[in-house]
Amino acid sequence: MVQVSKITEILGISPVTARRDLRRLAKQSLVKRFYGGARLIKAEDPVERYRLRADKFVEEKRRIGARASEFVSDGDSVMLEAGTTVMAVARSLTEKRRLRAVTYSLEIAMELLRIPDLDLTILGGTINRDTTAAVGPLAEQSLSHLRVGKLFLSVGGVDASAGLTAYNALEARINKMMLEAAQRVFIVADNSKFGIAAMNTIAVIDSSLTIISDTGVDPAQADAIRSLGAQLILV
């Protein structure tokens, strides 16, 4: 653990700068802030890092998840990506019946197991410790044989110009395959993801996408996205 006062003393920076840098590190789930300082999140604790991301924009994610679940009917086949907003979708499916679900996320698989009559398939592969999701050749091989009715996907960035993007190349690769495997695609992302262009491209934004977010999305981004033909739903 470290106090802001200690950071300013060691680095020779102002308290304002120290707090700003800690906020940035907290957004990346690298530290957990407390009053007057922060503590390092251990790299070997992926579950804590995932749960810290889930603790951000909690109410927005709940609304997004609830709205997304309205597109799911009893008996549907659905695929769920590994993001924390997708977790909110999974938590909103408890009243659905006879679902057939596919995920590559350990966390989301455990949540889906709470639904009594759900048929669950989990993809195998190498676990990405940042997302607790299976990636790599084994996961891709398994996915290549699957087709589903609906995909719920969260991404690193949603931008009218850059499209849908991811921070991790392996995640971007399997996300592209998920898009190809689904008849209908729902992007679920809170407002902090909009206007962001991460390094790895997943797809362009077009009329094939239904994007569900919250009312905090920048109006200019919302207008630009709708002009590309995508259905944008803000809740």
Q: What are phi and psi of 145, to 5 degrees?
A: -100, 5
Single out the residue of 19, 18, 26, 24 nearest to residue 48, CA to CA. Answer: 26
Domains of the chain, start order? 2-41 (no CATH), 54-234 (3.40.50.1360)
Single out the residue of 89, 108, 101 nearest to residue 51, CA to CA. Answer: 108
pLDDT on residue 55: 65
3-state secondary structure of 164: strand
pLDDT on residue 96: 96
At 58, list the tokens. Answer: 């909690």
pLDDT on residue 3: 86
pLDDT on residue 222: 98
Single out the residue of 183, 212, 215 nearest to residue 67, CA to CA. Answer: 212
If one counts every other C-beta atom within 10 angstroms of the C-beta of residue 55, the result is 11
pLDDT on residue 200: 96
Residue-wise pLDDT tens for the chain (235 aa)? 788 887 888 888 888 888 888 887 776 666 777 888 887 665 555 555 566 666 678 999 999 999 999 999 999 999 999 999 999 999 999 999 999 999 999 999 999 999 989 999 999 999 887 788 999 999 999 999 999 999 999 999 999 999 999 988 999 999 999 999 999 999 999 999 999 999 999 999 999 999 999 999 999 999 999 999 999 999 9
3-state secondary structure of 80: strand
Residues 181, 188: Cα–Cα separation, whole Å = 17
At 160, list the tokens. Answer: 């009218």
Q: What is the pTM of this model?
A: 0.80
Q: Which spans in 155-204 are helix H? A: 169-181
pLDDT on residue 207: 98
Which residues, 6+ apart, have CB-to-CB distance to 14 below 8 Å? 8
